[in-house]
Chains A and B, each alone.
Chain A
Amino acid sequence: MEYVIAGLLFLGLSFLFIGLYVLNKRTPKPEGCEQADIEECSGCAMKICPRHPKDQKEDE
């Protein structure tokens, strides 16, 4: 019985995450923010990040 509850809980939370992920992807970004996540990423120093700003890459 415990394993059934554990399985149901795991499946329930997994579906919750998948559902929220899909809803999040479908939610349109606000106006003017379509490219914002890339343009606003200039503070990030993670060079392996695919959104690493070009000016930092040129400095290398």
Chain B
Amino acid sequence: MSDIFSVFMAALITNNIVLTGFLGICSYLGVSKKTSSSVGMGFALTFVVFMASVICYFLNMVLVAANIEYMQTVCFILVIASLVQFVEMFIKKFSPSLYKSLGIFLPLITTNCIVLYVTRQVVEMDFVKMIAYALGTALGYFLVIFIFSTIREKLDSAPVAKGFKGVAIALLVTAIMAMAFTGFSGIF
């Protein structure tokens, strides 16, 4: 049990996918201008990462049994893209309020490299660890993008030098956050 907890916490904080792995930076910078947007993106990504990990985990068993592991990348990408289409269709039909807040972010998740990275990583793990790792990684992204969006909202009214406005100050803040998160190394 402590093993599973360590895997989860390491994926969430110590080996945070954005601040340590430098993945998902595009959506991290692009969607974090408002807190509401970042929350929507975080929820959507968490759901897609979790579902894609489970599906690809079992699909990989089929690939290994058929001796066609080289098809992993192509098949995983198709599964992720199909899952995002299905999720968007499902939300559109059964939850209009959720679609209104998430709708624009769902297509962005298809191209998010975090999803493909997690699905490639979890195939080597056992099922329970896979769940812990997938959830930890996705929630780690959620945590970081939420924190970053709250800081960016404050930066809008802060006296930032002209040359540092926009992406420059955002990247500086990200670098400082990354340094802060390295303080957790060795704990989990």
Contact = CB atoms under 8 A, between A and B. Distances in A.
Contacts, number: 91
B65 to A, nearest CB: 10
Contacts of A41: 104
A42 B78 contact: no
Contacts of A44: 30-31, 33, 37, 104
B34 interface: yes
Contact of B71 (A9, A20, A46): A9
B71 A27 contact: no
12 contacts: A2-B66, A9-B62, A10-B78, A14-B78, A16-B82, A17-B81, A20-B86, A29-B92, A29-B99, A33-B100, A44-B37, A45-B30
Interface of B: 29-34, 36-38, 62-63, 66-68, 70-71, 74-75, 78-79, 81-82, 85-86, 88-89, 92-93, 96, 99-101, 103-104, 166-167
